[in-house]
Amino acid sequence: MKTRALLGMAAGSIRKNKMRTLLTMLGIVIGVGAVIIMVAVGNGAQSQIEGQIRNLGTNLIVITPGSSTAGGASQGAQTFNRLTVADAVKIQNESTLLSGVSPVVVTRAQVITNTGNWRTEVDGVSPDYATIRDWNVSSGAFFTSDDVNASRKVALLGSTIVQNLFPDSDPVGAEIRIGDVPFTVVGVLAPKGQTSSGQDQDDVVLMPYTTAQDRLSGRTFLTQILASAQSSNEMAAAEDEVRGIMRDSHGLLNGGADDFTVRDQTAIAQAATSTTSVMTGLLAAIASISLVVGGIGIMNIMLVSVTERTREIGVRMAVGARGSDVLTQFLVESVVMSVLGGLIGLVAGYGGSVILGRVMGWSTSTPLVAVAAAVGFSAAVGVFFGYYPARKAAALDPIQALRYE
């Protein structure tokens, strides 16, 4: 039997029983719609987290202090700090796979102006920090290596600080005090937004690390060292290179555990997105139960249809239709209902995810793979749950079918 004729007969059967068909498809519509919404929300959240990770910097490698042990008990990560400026200089001079290295000194201080004050994080860094973090300035300019060497009292302000202390003016050139030390504002950082943990990246002041050490923190050791690999393909090799240079700098080439930790952007991203991926899969699996329920509904209705159309089947088989023709006819009807329900569910799910994103302020994204999988799965449901009724119809005895009342 030709495909066009089979589709025409399936469409005719659906038109004769519109309300019953609609109710039959409802389970598929709800199932596909729910799966699309869950996947869109989960995929959007994962994309947002990945974007925030990329916002941390370009091919970022982070070197932090190691752990210490007291009385046989580990004190945890970053409790044994031997990171120095000499380590950062050695990495910068000996590395072949890095595009930038910056010491980082972190402290907190009060920023005071003529109009108010604001307590914030103060980071002492080098000019390479702008390249590593891919952080531009919206006005003014980043400080230079000469500023670092001379420990000049210059600073860049994050946009959050500018909004609170200089709401109606450009602070470039203004004099501020950080703690008790006067500084000149040389630039305003472009907005970065929040991290995946909710930290405001724009609530920060950047200055030369030498100035931060000499004037504010008074600490010799660094909080961390940031580096940037030349390309994403060289991240693993660059990480190994940094680890080797650090072991040499700390005299560990002949053995001994690392007294530092090296992590790259990939590890950070995987840790941040793994939970989201698991939750998305779990929610989609739960929503898929609706597809099974919808498939059972299709099977029940098709069994009723076989019973109602027993005489019609007998007439068709009496005039020469084969059992395979009858089986194909009912199977096509089942698949058409299932696919049609899947398409309606697809539209409903996409529209629902867009509305949900706008109402809740969430980021949503519907991948094409999910669309194809939803439609394909709905067709598979039609085949799986429609086969038994179709086989039952094909197995009817023509003579008994013609006598059926």
The more confident residue out of 65 and 380 is 65
Residue 101 has a pLDDT of 94
Residue 362 pLDDT > 60: yes
Q: Largest alpha-carbon pair distance within the chain?
A: 105
Residue 215 pLDDT > 80: yes
Residue 234 has a pLDDT of 86
What is the spatial distance between Cα 150 and Cα 146, in angstroms, rounded to a whole number? 6
Residue with tokens 């007998």: 314
Residue 373 has a pLDDT of 74
Residue 181 has a pLDDT of 93
Residue 110 pLDDT > 90: yes
Residue 332 has a pLDDT of 73
Percentage of residues of the chain with pLDDT beyond 70:
66
> 78: pLDDT confidence band, cut at 50, 70 and 90?
very low
Least confident of 77-81, 279-283, 328-332, 379-383: 77-81
Mean pLDDT over 358-367 rounds to: 75
Least confident of 65-79, 128-142, 223-237, 298-312: 65-79
Residue 31 has a pLDDT of 76
Mean pLDDT over 204-209 rounds to: 96
Residue 91 pLDDT > 90: yes
| Model pLDDT for residues 37-46, shown as the tens digit of each residue | 877 877 777 6
Residue 72 pLDDT > 80: no
The more confident residue out of 332 and 346 is 346
Per domain, the residue ranges of the chain are 3-52+273-403, 81-258
> 375: pLDDT confidence band, cut at 50, 70 and 90?
confident
Distances (CA, A) of 141 to 39, 157, 172, 186, 308: 43, 11, 9, 6, 81
| Model pLDDT for residues 261-287, shown as the tens digit of each residue | 888 766 656 655 666 666 666 666 666
Please compute Rg for the chain using Cα positions: 33
| Model pLDDT for residues 140-190, shown as the tens digit of each residue | 999 999 999 999 999 999 999 999 999 888 999 999 999 889 999 999 999
Mean pLDDT over 340-355 rounds to: 83
- The CA angle 83-96-67, to the nearest 5 degrees, is 25
Residue 69 has a pLDDT of 44
Mean pLDDT over 358-386 rounds to: 73
| Model pLDDT for residues 111-136, shown as the tens digit of each residue | 999 889 999 999 999 999 999 988 99
Residue 271 has a pLDDT of 59
